[in-house]
Amino acid sequence: MYLLKILLFVFLTFNISCAQIAKNELFVAHWNIENLFDTIDDSKTSDEEFLSTSKKEWTNERLERKLYNLARVIRSMNNNNGPDLLGVCESEHEYLLDSLAKSFLSDKNYKAVSLESPDFRGIDNGIIYNADRLSLLNLRGYETKFSDNYNTRAILLGTFLLDKTDTIYFFVNHWPSRRGGQQESEPRRIKVAQTHKEVVDSLFNNNPKSKIIIVGDFNDEPANLSITEILGASPFLCDSIDTKSYSVDSGTTLFNTSYKAWSDGFGSYFYQNNFNMLDQIIISRELVAGSEINYECNSYEVYKPDFMITRTGKFKGAPFPTYGGNRYLGGYSDHFPVIAKFKLLVEKND
């Protein structure tokens, strides 16, 4: 623990001296951080896989290393300034994210929030945000009820005030996995997409110009039914459209910024020798054609710093994970983060 903090201090001190803070920009990211568990047995969930007595031999030392690695990636984003708004999934408890923010990103004024949900393994969605720019107004989780009592992660909604002016609705998702096959498991993701659509529609009914950012590991890709038809996120190819045409009455309300990268062959998760774009960033019309905050064209990308890429073997080019099966590798995550930038068009007064 002490050595890790010394190394982290040297690392962040160097980066602070080099970083240039971007002005009039909002930097958003999402990351499936792969099984951030503590080492304590929770009798309410199935977390036995991550205990010191398990085959994975999950210890406090390995947890410390995991937090250090996560912080290294997060800090490197946004020209070493870190993101303003980061959605994460697969964290067992809020206090783990709080420890990540306070102990391993202590040079930043980050705050972390999360809610417990009915996922049987106890891994939930969370948000880490820059408290110098964002104030949390409300935090709420939306559960999806299944007829067979299947449980999955709740959709997390953080409502934020950006720079004391703009209200941002930030959703974090982790939809049901493809266990059993993509088609066989699809109805569960469709069900969660229906829940999400209802919540989004309620925001639009209250204010058609709502500024909404939806991030997550959807376990579906941008062209799958759950994303395009049920949630209603249209492919967004910003080089080929006239954003002025997207009025309140245009019909389309959500746009998928990850579509172009996916169509170009990129992905955030490596499975069976192929990259899948499971991690996406979806935005509302107001962030496409509004007069205050706009998505920066083609700024969505799969974030792949060199140090978290597997260098050799059959997984060459894939994210370097914490484990390979039960074998401890000491890496970062089995997913790459995804990022996007937004331009603030109206200058804010301090």
Q: pLDDT tens digit string along 118-143?
A: 999 999 999 999 999 999 999 999 99
Residues 261-288, mean pLDDT to the nearest whole number? 96
- Of 10-19, 41-50, 225-234, 259-268, the one with minimum mean pLDDT is 10-19
Q: Which fold, 2-12+28-340? A: Deoxyribonuclease I; Chain A (3.60.10)
Name the token pair of 182.
Answer: 């993509």
Considering the chain, what is the average pLDDT of its residues?
91
pLDDT of residue 17: 41
Burial class (CB in 10 A: 0-12, 13-18, 19+), 236: buried
- The β-bridge relationship of strands 338-344 and 293-295 is antiparallel
pLDDT of residue 140: 98
CA distance 3 to 148: 49
Largest Cα–Cα separation, the chain: 59
Question: Rg of the chain over CA atoms, in angstroms?
Answer: 19
User: Over 70: is that where the pLDDT of 308 sits?
Assistant: yes
User: Over 70: is that where the pLDDT of 65 sits?
Assistant: yes
Residues 201-225, mean pLDDT to the nearest whole number? 97
> How far is CA 327 from each of CA 21, 50, 57, 64, 317, rounded to the nearest angstrom?
39, 13, 9, 17, 19
Amino acid present at 288: V
pLDDT digits (tens, 9 = 90+) for 226-258: 999 999 999 998 865 555 555 555 567 999 999
CA distance 140 to 115: 8
Name the token pair of 114.
Answer: 């999360």
CB 193 within 8 A of CB 181: no
- The β-bridge relationship of strands 211-217 and 166-174 is parallel
Domain boundaries, the chain: 2-12+28-340
Q: Which DSSP letter does residue 51 get?
A: S
249 Cβ contact partners less than 8 Å away, ≥ 6 residues apart: none
Name the token pair of 210.
Answer: 């709502």
pLDDT of residue 9: 46
pLDDT of residue 130: 98
